[in-house]
Structure 1
Amino acid sequence: MLLVSNSAFNIFHFRKSLWKMLLKEGYEVIALAPADGKEQGLKDAGLRFVDLPSLQQYGNGPVSDVLLYRTLVSKYQELQPDLILHFTIKPNIYGSVAAKKVGIPSIATITGLGTTWLNGVLLRKITQMLYRYSLPASNVIVGQNAHDLESLQKIGVKANEWQLIPGSGIDVNEFAPTAPVVAASAKQFLFLGRMLIDKGLEELFNAWHQIHHLLPDAHLLLVGELDPQHPRCIPEKIWQAGIALPRVVYHDYQEDVRTYIDRSQVVLLASYREGIPRSLLESMSMGKPIIATDVPGCRELALPRKTGWRVPSRSSAALAEAMLQAYRSKPEELTQLGNNGRKLVCEGYSEAIVTQQYLEIIKELLR
């Protein structure tokens, strides 16, 4: 099995459930990605790692993409895997075509259509054209939410087979509520993720600016990477103004986020679009109610009066109102929302469910 992504980090963290299952089933697993420090963890786990620096996250134009395609063809011919699993946009586009050229079956997993669907008409049209051309070369197209699959179908993408697999799989034993569960008022709100404008950080800061004086003993905690090189990184001016607000606390990327989830009462994600956000799944698995936007990938998880609050995208006022409602909720109400959320994850988004779906597709392709 060959897993291809735009970073070793992506394979190490987000595909862990998948490669753990593949290793357990007796497959040899190779990871093909740019080295970024996480490759040693993959090697220690029993994977073979092949460095591919040209498969970078942020592209440099059509010439580099043509060279990337040729490099992938060469690597696939050299490695000769039985099956290739592509993740992230460039592997899905160029890897699918390269795999077909060398006669190796492949699976393209669409983990979200966010950045390219949201930003810039020209970029969106180019990406849609590339998807229409490349994705039919894969044997199976996997989407993490139904809306993304429908969006691809609407722009004319033809598939040999469509599959809906809800996320990358959560280890519900690793992300479990602290025992005993102690009901508490909402005194700490947590945002967990990369510091990108598309995650709704500007709206979150605006909401906190509107209500922080009404929540004198509450804090807003931000945990995740701030990467100025990312094309959608939150602008410096907005970032500095946001973290300067009262009782806003920022922590950089954390290898283990469970401590931060555990000591928060409500987890927020005001994203403009998602696949299935892992930050919400992990938090719900730990029994935390959520506030999230009514967009693909989030609306499936944020069930009003059941798992938390669902608010319109790009609305600071609605987000502020939901935070106020959470703050004013009784501890037992928050506990019940959290229990419902964990039940939802266990029954629909656990790694056992996700990996079994992948395993069935893989075995069918190998047959």
Structure 2
Amino acid sequence: MFKILFVVNNPDFFLSHRVKIALAAKEKGYDVHVATMQGESVKVIESLGLKHHVLMMSRSGTNPLSELKSLFSLYRLFKRVKPDLVHLVTIKPVLYGGIAARLARVPAVVYAISGLGFIFIRQKKGVDFLKGLIKYLYRIALGHTHSRVIFQNKDDCATLMQMGAVQSQQVVMIRGAGVDMEEFAPTLNEPPLPIKVTMVARLLKDKGVQEFVEAAKLDVEKKFVWQIAGGIDTGNPASITQAEFNNMQSYVNMLGERKDIAQLYAQSHIVVLPSYREGIPKSLLEAAASGKPIITTDVPGCRDAIIPDESGLLVPVKNAPAIYEAVMYLAHRADLRLSMGKAGRALAEREFAMPIIIDKHLAVYQALLEK
């Protein structure tokens, strides 16, 4: 029996983005292990029959000594568990886990590139030493001779190939982590007016939270209901503060963390995500499956979640007036909202449905393990 070890820093992220793939692998006969940081959700992972290992890692720490300890703890974990294949998800597990897997001689590695992080978004004057270091780590981490690198969009793939971190034979394109098409199903009719404009995301500045709020401020007559579902992420340096959250409530309904996203979309007319860059945003895939028209930014990942002018509209990044104008445009065109919603649902059924994503992952595992 082949042993697969998933490495994800946040247990909640594993449950929201990878658990169904892990369970499908278990159903297929693999011995599935999961390594995450400690948290309440670990109990849920264990209750599903998945073997859990505590990951010693900080999500956003940059202390060199602590980061070296994280890398060494992954090396020890790999030597102890002896996986036949490790599946590394999110940036730190990919970087540190990739290096540790090479040192521990793990037979096969799958890297999941679900975005390149805020380092590749920020604009810094002069020499960006941290970005240079990250590029160097990518070249080392992704250099396993028996591996596949799963990309969610072509832009991230091109960036890492230009850096010399990835070879063409490693590349696999899988668009997202999958959507439950039954849970996120379209409603027969739109909800009653007024128009509800919904954003679902962690409250990070690079998700475009501030631009969404600025767009809501332009609705001076309060014709529409503007709302954001998502929580403050204290472990992320790009998170808004509690004071900023409180101030935003004057213009936008700040809903906090929500578990009923499917129901929230069912009660919405338009979904907006003005992010600066993504792998491919799960919230938009779920919105497409829900049959909702989408407004998002013309950046890597976001533009990959829609068919421009068919299932949604693209706006320039960091441009609140453009968001407001796009909302106004869709708000006054019920037939267009309906046709875009149908196009989005069809796209989700073709590209993003969970069985399609699961089968593609299992095929990657099988191809590596057979060799």
Distance 1:107 1:146, change over 3 A: same
Deviation at 1:123, TM superposition (A): 2.7
**RMSD of Structure 2 on Structure 1 (CA):** 1.7
Cα-to-partner distance string for 1:43-72 (whole Å, 9 max, x where unaligned): 1212111112x2221124211111111111
Cα distance between partner residues in 2 of 1:212 and 1:350:
39
Cα-to-partner distance string for 1:217-262 (whole Å, 9 max, x where unaligned): x2111111112342001255544432212xx211111223112111
Deviation at 1:36, TM superposition (A): 1.5
Identity of aligned residues (%): 28
Cα-to-partner distance string for 1:148-199 (whole Å, 9 max, x where unaligned): 0001111221335111111111111221123x33476661010101000001
Q: Is the 2:178–2:354 contact (alpha carbons within 8 Å) kept by the matching residues of 1?
A: yes
Distance 1:14 1:238, change over 3 A: same
Aligned to 1:101: 103
Cα-to-partner distance string for 1:319-342 (whole Å, 9 max, x where unaligned): 111011121112x32111111101
Cα-to-partner distance string for 1:282-319 (whole Å, 9 max, x where unaligned): 11101111100000011122333311211011111111
Structure 1 residues 296-305 or 4-13, which shifts more?
A: 296-305
Aligned to 2:291: 287
Q: Is the 2:215–2:321 contact (alpha carbons within 8 Å) kept by the matching residues of 1?
A: yes
Cα distance between partner residues in 1 of 2:190 and 2:265:
14
SS of equivalent to 1:250: strand
Q: How does 1:146-161 map to 2 (within 5 A)?
A: 146-159=154-167, 161=170
Distance 1:204 1:350, change over 3 A: same
Distance 1:151 1:106, change over 3 A: same
Structure 1 position 37 matched with structure 2 position 40: yes
Q: How does 1:206-217 map to 2 (within 5 A)?
A: 206-213=214-221, 215-216=222-223
Aligned to 1:263: 267
Q: Which residue, out of 24, 29, 47, partners 1:26?
A: 29
Q: Which amino acid aligns with 1:74?
A: R
Q: Which amino acid aligns with 1:250?
A: M
Distance 1:338 1:212, change over 3 A: farther
Cα distance between partner residues in 2 of 1:236 and 1:40:
29
Q: Which residue, out of 308, 320, 331, partners 2:312?
A: 308
Cα distance between partner residues in 1 of 2:30 and 2:292:
36
Q: Which amino acid aligns with 1:26?
A: G
Structure 1 residues 282-291 or 182-191, which shifts more?
A: 182-191
Structure 1 position 125 matched with structure 2 position 129: no
Q: Which residue, out of 208, 212, 221, partners 1:204?
A: 212
Q: Is the 1:190–1:266 contact (alpha carbons within 8 Å) kept by the matching residues of 2?
A: yes
Q: Which amino acid aligns with 2:367?
A: E
Cα-to-partner distance string for 1:78-133 (whole Å, 9 max, x where unaligned): 11111100001111011112112222111111000131211353332221121112
SS of equivalent to 1:189: strand
Q: Is the 2:59–2:235 contact (alpha carbons within 8 Å) kept by the matching residues of 1?
A: no
Structure 1 position 364 matched with structure 2 position 367: yes
Aligned to 2:230: 224
Cα distance between partner residues in 2 of 1:157 and 1:268:
33
Structure 1 position 192 matched with structure 2 position 200: yes
Structure 1 residues 143-152 or 91-100, which shifts more?
A: 91-100
Q: Which residue, out of 46, 49, 67, partners 1:46?
A: 49
TM-score by length of 1: 0.93
TM-score by length of 2: 0.92
Structure 1 residues 129-138 or 1-10, which shifts more?
A: 129-138
Structure 1 position 81 matched with structure 2 position 83: yes
